[in-house]
Amino acid sequence: MEITHIGGPTAVLSLGGLTFLTDPAFDAPQDYQLGNRVMTKLTGPAIPAAELGPIDVVLVSHDEHKDNLDDAGRALLPSMPTVLSTPGAATRIAGVRGLESWESIDLPRPDGGVITVTAVPALHGPEGAEKILGVVTGFVLQGDGIPTAYVSGDNASIGLVKEIADRFAPIDVAVLFAGAARTGLLDGASLTLTSTEAVEAAQLLTPATIIPVHTEGWAHFTEGPDQFVAAFQDAGLADRVKVLEPGVATTVG
């Protein structure tokens, strides 16, 4: 399995002969006005959308927030062969296949096998967050002879990580959206995993290699890659983490 981190939650995963793109966000740095709030993007993508190369499947954890699907990312979707997301996203974006939690789809591999993609639950903040921030999904990718990969999406619930770990163990690679995102909503609660919570998730996901994403590039991320790594070092789990250099393809699993 090869992963290239593009920035924020956006990464390219090559697995079983298929190429997956997570949460496409390719806009240049800018401010986004959202009602009476502003979201600020600090850095652009390590690889421009025009230089991506062929993509077979796009995995969109949710479509309502610019840091997970921005204008340039949304413009890519009509040209993508398969786009998987939430049922709500399927009602808002033409061509999107919406998956309910625990629903699976088999995607044909070039070698004649399949990769099974299962939508898994995620919670974008504390209990009840979906009423304000919308429904989010994660994904598990499985197939014969390839690593099992978990892409968390914007999930802040350790309880849901446990459910996913119990169903799919052993998971070989976990791409965790972290960064302790805070926007002032929900009494300032973290809307994604904190670094300490990511350690808890990693312990549940043993022996998975942990790939942190969604920890940089936006002003509302309150914990960056350094804090993430420090938390794992303090827990004696530094050997489980692989921080990717943006734009550089890395083999994992």
pLDDT at 126: 65
Count of C-beta atoms within a 10 Å radius of residue 72: 17
CA 221, CA 58: separation in Å to the nearest integer?
24
CA 243, CA 190: separation in Å to the nearest integer?
21
CA 232, CA 148: separation in Å to the nearest integer?
22
pLDDT at 1: 95
The answer to whether the bond into 225 is cis (omega within 30° of 0) is no
Strand partners, 213: 177
Strands 82-85 and 96-98: parallel
pLDDT at 183: 78
pLDDT at 188: 65
Closest CA relative to residue 25, chosen from 3, 4, 41, 1: 41
CA 226, CA 188: separation in Å to the nearest integer?
22
Give first-to-last CA distance, the chain, whole Å: 6
Question: Six-digit token pair at 127?
Answer: 């209990």
- Can you give the pLDDT of all 253 residues of the chain as single tens digits? 999 999 999 999 999 999 999 999 999 999 998 777 888 999 999 999 999 999 999 999 999 889 999 999 999 999 999 999 999 999 999 999 999 999 999 999 999 999 999 999 999 876 776 766 778 999 999 999 999 999 999 999 999 999 999 999 999 999 999 999 887 666 667 888 999 999 999 999 999 999 999 999 889 899 999 999 999 999 999 999 999 999 999 999 8
pLDDT at 134: 72
Question: Six-digit token pair at 186?
Answer: 């929900």
In the chain, which residue ranges form alpha helices assigned H by DSSP? 71-76, 87-92, 130-133, 158-168, 195-204, 225-234
Strand partners, 2: 14, 251
| Alpha-carbon dihedral angle through residues 211, 39, 138, 196, given to the nearest 10 degrees | 50
Distances in Å between the Cα of 14 and the Cα atoms of 8, 47, 139, 146, 192 are 18, 16, 15, 11, 25
Q: Is 194 left (phi over 0), alpha (psi -120 to 50) or beta?
A: beta
Architecture of domain 2-243: 4-Layer Sandwich (3.60)
pLDDT at 37: 80
pLDDT at 47: 97
pLDDT at 131: 66
